[in-house]
Chains A and B, each alone.
Chain A
Amino acid sequence: MSEDYNKGYLDMELLRFTTAGSVDDGKSTLIGRLLYDSKAIFEDQMESIEKASLKTGDGEVNLALLTDGLRAEREQGITIDVAYRYFATPKRKFIIADTPGHVQYTRNMVTGASTANVALILVDARNGIIEQTLRHAFIASLLQIPHIIVCVNKMDLVEYKEEVFDEIKSGFDKISTKLDVHDIRFVPISAKLGDNVVDRSENMDWYDGPTLMYLLENIHIASDINHVDTRFPVQYVIRPMKDEYHDYRGYAGRIEGGVFRKGDPVKVLPSGLTSKIKSIDMFEGEIDMAFAPQSITLSLEDDIDISRGDLIIKDNGLPESSQDIEMMLCWFHEKPMVLGGKYTIKHTTNDLRCVIRDVNYKIDVNTLEHNNDDKIVGLNDIAKITVKTTKPLFYDSYRKNRKTGSVILIDEATNNTVAAGMIM
Chain B
Amino acid sequence: MDNKYRINHLRELEAESIFVIREVVAQFENPCMLFSGGKDSIIMFHLARKAFWPARVPFPLMHIDTGHNFDETIEFRDKLMKETETNLIVKYVQDSINKGKVIDETGVNASRNKLQTTTLLDGIEEMKFDCAMGGGRRDEEKARAKERFFSHRDEFGQWDPKNQRPELWNIFNGKKHMGEHFRVFPISNWTEMDVWQYIMLENIPIPNLYFSHEREIVERDGTILAAGEFVTLKDGEIPEKRIIRFRTIGDMTCTGAVESKANSLEEIIEEVAATRVTERGGRYDDKRSEAAMEDRKKEGYF
For B266, what are the chain A residues with a Cβ–Cβ distance below 8 Å? 9
Q: How far is the CB of B291 from chain A (nearest CB, A)?
A: 5
B138/A406 in contact, CB under 8 A? no
Interface string of B27-47 (1 = CB under 8 A from A): 000000000000000000000
A403/B175 in contact, CB under 8 A? no
Give the residues from 1 to 31 in chain A that come closer than 8 angstroms, CB to CB, to chain B.
1, 5-14
A6, A82, A236, A349 — which one has the most chain B CB atoms within 10 A of its CB?
Answer: A236
B5/A417 in contact, CB under 8 A? no
Q: Is A424 an interface residue (CB 8 A)?
A: no
Q: How far is the CA of A80 from the CA of B138 in the complex (A)?
A: 16
For B52, what are the chain A residues with a Cβ–Cβ distance below 8 Å? 238, 252
* Known contacts A42-B278, A70-B146, A220-B1: A293-B12 contact under CB 8 Å: yes
Q: How far is the CA of A415 from the CA of B179 in the complex (A)?
A: 14
Q: Is A214 an interface residue (CB 8 A)?
A: no
A67/B175 in contact, CB under 8 A? no
B168/A408 in contact, CB under 8 A? yes
Q: How far is the CA of A240 from the CA of B201 in the complex (A)?
A: 26
Closest to B147 in A: A84
Q: How far is the CA of A281 from the CA of B50 in the complex (A)?
A: 10
B201/A349 in contact, CB under 8 A? no
Interface string of B184-204 (1 = CB under 8 A from A): 000011010110110011000
Q: How far is the CA of A292 from the CA of B12 in the complex (A)?
A: 10
Q: Is B170 an interface residue (CB 8 A)?
A: yes
For A70, what are the chain B residues with a Cβ–Cβ distance below 8 Å? 142-143, 146, 161-162, 291, 294
Give which listed residue, B19, B193, B196, B281, contacts A88 with CB less than 8 A. Answer: B193
For B170, what are the chain A residues with a Cβ–Cβ distance below 8 Å? 115, 254, 403
A248/B145 in contact, CB under 8 A? no
A42/B276 in contact, CB under 8 A? yes
> Total interface residues on A, using CB and 8 Å?
89
For A344, what are the chain B residues with a Cβ–Cβ distance below 8 Å? 175
A69/B22 in contact, CB under 8 A? no
Interface string of A37-52 (1 = CB under 8 A from B): 0000011110010011
Q: How many interface contacts (CB-CB < 8 Å) are there between A and B?
A: 215
Closest to B85 in A: A242
B55/A13 in contact, CB under 8 A? no
Secondary structure of the A contact surface, majority rule: mixed
* Known contacts A81-B161, A86-B139: A293-B15 contact under CB 8 Å: yes
Give which listed residue, B19, B176, B295, contacts A295 with CB less than 8 A. Answer: B19
Give which listed residue, A88, A242, A406, contacts B168 with CB less than 8 A. Answer: A406
Q: Which of A203-211, A221-229, A269-277, A317-325 contacts B (4 or more CB under 8 A)?
A: A221-229
For B291, what are the chain A residues with a Cβ–Cβ distance below 8 Å? 70-71, 74
Q: Which of A106-114, A132-140, A382-390 contacts B (4 or more CB under 8 A)?
A: A106-114
A406/B171 in contact, CB under 8 A? yes
Q: How far is the CA of A250 from the CA of B201 in the complex (A)?
A: 25
Give which listed residue, A10, A248, A252, A415, contacts B177 with CB less than 8 A. Answer: A415
A282/B50 in contact, CB under 8 A? yes
Q: Is B18 an interface residue (CB 8 A)?
A: yes
Give which listed residue, B14, B22, B200, contacts A236 with CB less than 8 A. Answer: B22
For A72, what are the chain B residues with a Cβ–Cβ distance below 8 Å? 162
A252/B22 in contact, CB under 8 A? yes
Interface string of A255-266 (1 = CB under 8 A from B): 000010000000
Give which listed residue, A9, A66, A80, A88, contacts B201 with CB less than 8 A. Answer: A9
Give which listed residue, A107, A240, A283, A416, contacts B50 with CB less than 8 A. Answer: A283
Query: Which residues does B use to contact A, with CB under 8 Å?
Result: 1-3, 5-16, 18-19, 22-23, 25-26, 49-56, 138-139, 141-146, 161-162, 164-171, 173, 175-177, 188-189, 191, 193-194, 196-197, 200-201, 266, 269, 275-278, 281, 290-291, 294-295
Between-chain CB contacts (< 8 Å), 30 pairs: A6-B6, A8-B10, A8-B200, A9-B200, A14-B12, A43-B276, A51-B290, A66-B142, A69-B141, A69-B142, A70-B146, A70-B291, A71-B291, A72-B162, A80-B162, A81-B164, A84-B189, A111-B167, A225-B5, A236-B26, A239-B55, A240-B54, A242-B56, A253-B22, A294-B7, A346-B171, A346-B173, A403-B170, A408-B171, A416-B165
Known: A70-B161, A410-B175. 10 other contacts (CB 8 A): A8-B10, A9-B196, A42-B275, A85-B145, A111-B167, A245-B54, A250-B55, A254-B18, A402-B169, A408-B173
Closest 7 CB pairs of A and B: A69-B142, A240-B55, A44-B281, A415-B175, A114-B168, A283-B50, A295-B18
